[in-house]
Amino acid sequence: MSHEIEHFKKYASEYNPITIGSIDGTDNLPHDRAIARALRARYKPNKQVKGNPRHTVFIGRLNPRTTQDTIQSEFSKFGKVMYCCLVKDIVTGKSKQYAFVEYETSTSVENALREMHKEYIDGSEIIVEREAERSLVGWVPRRLGGGFGGRKEAGQLRFGCRDRPFHKPIIIKHSNEGVRNEK
């Protein structure tokens, strides 16, 4: 049995830009400039971020009009929210269209992941993932060529998350059976 299939995981457990850029996690070479940029990036998670990364969810693809109060209201249905942060541009103050919510318990996280992923808030279909920055070793954010997003048209899809899991590798077995060299 192939090494890739023996250790196949549908979701990333550590972040390697080449693996994340591969549909089945088996690539060995970067296939676009962003992955090459992510390999060169030196990124350290923000030490000022407090809280439990295992109790934190990332909410992406938010409507630009969505407020922090709306996020707090929608996600408090699943348990006590310890912290809620809609990320905004430091210069303009406009929403960057993603947020983080930290819960008191892991049960609340599981419920939010199950119930809110691909739901609509303010007319936009959102994604809900586990926080990656502090929980995935080697994490590189999208702005440095990493992340899990990407556009199909640009050829910069990233895999290994709930939105785009890895596909099981297809192993082609070469067989010489039935081929005879007769004289």
pLDDT in tens, 94-152: 999 999 999 999 999 999 999 999 999 999 999 999 998 888 888 888 888 888 877 77
Helices 68-75 & 106-116 angle (0-180, nearest 10): 110
**Whether residue 121 sits in one domain with residue 59:** yes
Q: Please, which pLDDT band fits residue 176 given cuts at 50, 70 and 90?
A: low
97 CB contacts (<8 Å, ≥6 apart)? 60, 61, 62, 63, 64, 66
Q: How many domains does the chain have?
A: 2
Residue 140 contacts residue 18 (beta carbons within 8 Å): no
End-to-end CA distance of the chain: give it in Å, rounded: 35
* Distance separating alpha carbons of residues 164 and 89, to the nearest angstrom: 27
* pLDDT value for 6: 63
| 84 found inside a domain | yes
pLDDT of residue 90: 94
**Residue 88 falls inside a structural domain:** yes
**The pLDDT of residue 1:** 42
Q: Quick one: how far is CA 123 from the chain centroid?
A: 22
Domain check: are 149 and 75 in the same one? no
Assess whether 129 and 146 both reside in one domain: no
**CB distance 30 to 18 below 8 Å:** yes
pLDDT value of residue 45 = 82
Shortest CA distance to 140 belongs to which of 10, 16, 9? 16
**Residue 90 shares a structural domain with residue 17:** no
- Return the sign of the alpha-carbon dihedral for residues 166, 152, 30, 163: negative
Q: What is the pTM of this model?
A: 0.78
Q: Is 105 helix (H, G, I), strand (E, B) or coil?
A: coil
Q: Is residue 67 part of a domain?
A: yes
Give me the domain span that covers residue 12. 1-43+138-170
Q: How far apart, in whole angstroms, are the C-alpha atoms of residue 159 and residue 150?
A: 9
H or E element, residue 86: strand 81-88
